Amino acid sequence: SFVVTQPPSVSVAPGETARITCRGDTIERRGAHWYQQKPGQAPVLVMYYDSDRPSGIPERFSGHNSGNTATLTISRVEAGDEADYHCQLWDISGYHRVFGGGTKLTVL
């Protein structure tokens, strides 16, 4: 089965750049989507099809997908960005959606 791997945690200081990765076989061809989830809240879509940003999501959020790694980049990180970030991919062989395990972003 298709396995997607995210680092459990990433820590950055305010104003720095956070990079959250999502790794899997041939991930470049699968179109990565990213969700932000704050404690006690439902997930919110922050990036789709690798690098498209939904309306209302700050330009500080960007995305890239190459080879076996999709990356969500948050520039000029703010305290309000502290959350869990989940990637979602499409398993072409199994014909279903797969989520990564989620990454907790801590703003120091």
Partner 1 sequence: EVQLVQSGAEVKKPGESLKISCTGSGYKFSTYWIGWVRQMPGKGLEWMGLIYAGDSDTIYSPSFRGQVSISVDTSINTAFLQLSGLAISDTAIYYCARPLCRDGCPFDYWGQGTLVTVSS
If the CB atoms of residues 74 and 102 are measured against partner 1, the closer one turns out to be 102
Question: Does 14 sit near partner 1 (CB under 8 A)?
Answer: no
- Provide DSSP, 41-73: S--EEEEBTTTB--TTS-TTEEEEEETTEEEEE
104 phi/psi in degrees, rounded to 5 = -85, 115
Stretch that binds partner 1, among 19-27, 63-71, 72-80, 92-100 (CB under 8 A): 92-100
CA dist 1 and 58 (Å) reads: 35
Task: Please list every residue from 45 through 74 that binds partner 1, using CB under 8 A.
Answer: 45, 48-49, 54
Question: Does 22 sit near partner 1 (CB under 8 A)?
Answer: no
- Of residues 19, 38, 76, 97, which one binds partner 1 by CB under 8 A? 97
Query: C-alpha distances in angstroms, 52 versus 31, 40, 58, 93?
Result: 10, 26, 12, 25
Return residues touching partner 1 (CB under 8 A). Answer: 1, 30-31, 33, 35, 42-45, 48-49, 54, 84, 86, 88, 90, 94-102
